[in-house]
């Protein structure tokens, strides 16, 4: 649920799945490259299910798996 | 030896006051179903603490009359006991936080704990007035007892109304919200709520089974209460507890018009129940800051 700006955000980014190699950067979270839209969706759903996490699709088409 | 025992009159006064005080506690325990301990052990705990509170109130007058002023100091015990009731309830509900569908939130827990504390005062004050009336009436013992019971009932009615809080339905309209899913974003009545619907399953689930209500404040200053994070958390908690929660639950406030959105994917599909439960969600004491809010007409139009 939405948290107020004064509160400490209570979320963690668990994984980032992208179809652009340039966006695969080192970071705290797992960043994966998918070669097709289908594979991107599959990976996202599988990881989200395993981690019991939520998924956000960014407007650039990438997926971010996070726990709120 | 004879002076060490209570007279029949004193015993009658104390027993009557204890019974009426305990019954007062039982009555207010049933009065509000949201703050009612639905577990049998919780019920027993509160009846017993109510009994102790009533006993403390009942013996105060006979102790004073027998010039046992030292004994009256045990009233301080009463205060300590009531504070312990609040503490116990707070700890108990806080321990359960991680097992619920959503968090009650510290503001709501604090309000519930205060309610439990004040309900012990109701038992205490009722027993005290029953004891006082029965003792000072110059009539026959049985008539005095009947008068004490009547006064007790009047006191409970007064205190019940005095301590009765307001609910969201008193200060706002609660209406069904129209759910829209655009890409991975969720909108209710055009208000952006969340973009956590990134997967096809999530979108499908919300489109088919999602339910939402929008709270429209009657006056602009009621937004002070409704925008309060603890208040929205309490409303969401009541919604998920009443209908269950299959997946996803959000609250969101609209800055422009002060509307508040509560939406979720419930187990039980009943929009009327969702509207009703949000309407009946108590206004938290901690969110009340404005005198104009306190003067709200409780009876409605």
Distance from CA of B202 to the nearest CA of A (A): 9
Which residue does chain B place closest to A57, by CA atoms? B198
Those residues of chain A that have pLDDT short of 50 are 1-3, 5
The answer for A 10-29 residues in CB contact with B (under 8 A) is none
Which residue would you say has higher pLDDT here, B295 or A28? Answer: A28
**Looking up tokens 């950067």, which residue turns up?**
A25
Please list every residue in chain B whose beta carbon sits closer than 8 Å to the beta carbon of residue A7: 229
Give the Cα separation of A57 and B198 in Å (integer): 5
Which residue does chain B place closest to A6, by CA atoms? B229
Number of neighbouring beta carbons within 10 Å of residue A2: 15
**pLDDT by residue (tens digit) across B207-239?**
899 999 999 999 888 888 888 888 998 999 999
Residue-range definition of the domain harbouring residue A37: 12-67
Selected residue of B196, B200, B226 to mutate for chain A interface (largest A Cβ count, 10 A): B196
The per-residue pLDDT of chain B, averaged, comes to 85
Distance from CA of B133 to the nearest CA of A (A): 53
Residue A1 lies in a domain: no
Please list every residue in chain B whose beta carbon sits closer than 8 Å to the beta carbon of residue A68: 196
**pLDDT by residue (tens digit) across B129-162?**
999 999 888 888 888 899 999 999 999 999 988 8
Residue B170, helix vs strand vs coil: helix
Rg, C-alpha atoms of chain A: 13
Nearest residue to B249 via CA among A2, A63, A50, A65 = A2
- b/e map B204-217, b = 16+ CB within 10 Å: ebbeebbbbbbbbb
ipTM: 0.74
Q: How confident is the model at residue B1 (pLDDT cuts 50, 70, 90)?
A: very low
pLDDT at B292 over 70: no
Nearest residue to B131 via CA among B69, B59, B23, B27 = B59
Numbered residues of chain B with Cβ closer than 8 Å to any chain A Cβ: 102, 183-184, 193-202, 229, 233, 236, 249-253
Give the Cα separation of B63 and B69 in Å (integer): 7
- Residue ranges of the domains in chain B? 2-163, 168-294
* Beta carbons of A56 and B201 less than 8 Å apart: no
Rg, C-alpha atoms of chain B: 24
Please list every residue in chain A whose beta carbon sits closer than 8 Å to the beta carbon of residue B183: 57, 59
Of A45, A59, A68, the CB nearest to B199: A45
**pLDDT by residue (tens digit) across B95-134?**
888 888 888 888 888 888 888 888 889 999 999 999 999 9
* Beta carbons of A2 and B198 less than 8 Å apart: no
Q: Which residues touch B272 (CB under 8 Å, ≥6 apart)?
A: none
Of B202, B229, B249, the CB nearest to A4: B229
**Looking up tokens 């980014």, which residue turns up?**
A13
* Beta carbons of A1 and B102 less than 8 Å apart: yes
Of B196, B229, B250, the CB nearest to A56: B196
Nearest residue to A22 via CA among A30, A33, A13 = A33
Domains contained in chain A, number: 1
* Beta carbons of A64 and B198 less than 8 Å apart: yes
**pLDDT by residue (tens digit) across B235-258?**
999 999 889 989 889 999 988 888
- Strands A12-18 and A30-33: what pairing? parallel
Please list every residue in chain B whose beta carbon sits closer than 8 Å to the beta carbon of residue A41: 199-200
Residue A58 lies in a domain: yes
What is the number of CB-based contacts under 8 A between chain A and chain B? 42
Of A41, A44, A54, the CB nearest to B196: A54
Contact with chain B for residue A41, Cβ under 8 A: yes
What pLDDT score does B298 carry? 56
Mean pLDDT value of segment B285-301? 59
């Amino acid at each position: 649920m939405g948290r107020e700006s004064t509160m400490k955000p209570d979320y963690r980014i668990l994984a980032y799945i992208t179809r652009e190699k340039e966006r695969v950067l080192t970071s705290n979270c797992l960043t994966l490259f998918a070669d097709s839209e289908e594979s991107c969706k599959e990976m996202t759903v599988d990881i989200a299910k395993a981690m019991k996490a939520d998924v956000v699709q960014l407007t650039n088409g990438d997926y971010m798996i996070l726990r709120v | 030896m004879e002076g060490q025992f209570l007279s029949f009159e004193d015993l009658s006064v104390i027993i009557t006051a204890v019974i009426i005080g305990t019954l007062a506690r039982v009555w207010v325990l049933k009065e509000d179903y949201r703050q009612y301990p639905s577990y049998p052990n919780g019920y027993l705990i509160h009846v017993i603490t109510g009994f102790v509170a009533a006993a403390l109130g009942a013996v105060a007058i006979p102790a004073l009359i027998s010039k046992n002023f030292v004994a009256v100091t045990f009233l301080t015990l009463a205060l300590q006991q009531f504070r312990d009731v609040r503490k116990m309830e707070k700890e108990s509900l806080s321990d359960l936080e991680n097992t619920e569908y959503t968090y009650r939130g510290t503001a709501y827990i604090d309000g519930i704990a205060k309610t439990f504390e004040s309900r012990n005062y109701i038992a205490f004050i009722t027993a005290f007035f029953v004891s006082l009336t029965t003792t000072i009436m110059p009539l026959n013992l049985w008539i005095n007892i009947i008068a004490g019971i009547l006064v007790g009932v009047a006191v409970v009615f007064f205190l019940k109304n005095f301590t009765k809080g307001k609910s969201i339905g008193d200060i706002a309209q609660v209406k069904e919200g129209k759910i829209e899913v655009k890409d991975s974003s969720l909108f209710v009545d055009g208000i952006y709520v969340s973009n956590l619907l990134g997967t096809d399953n999530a979108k499908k689930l919300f489109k088919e089974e999602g339910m939402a209500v929008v709270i429209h404040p009657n006056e602009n200053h009621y937004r002070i209460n409704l925008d309060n994070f603890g208040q929205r958390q309490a409303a969401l908690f009541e919604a998920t507890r009443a209908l269950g929660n299959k997946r996803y639950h959000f609250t969101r406030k609209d800055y422009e018009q002060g509307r508040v959105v509560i939406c979720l994917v419930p187990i039980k599909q009943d929009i009327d129940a969702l509207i009703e439960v949000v309407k009946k969600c108590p206004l938290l004491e901690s969110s009340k800051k404005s005198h104009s809010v306190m003067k709200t007409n409780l009876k409605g139009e």
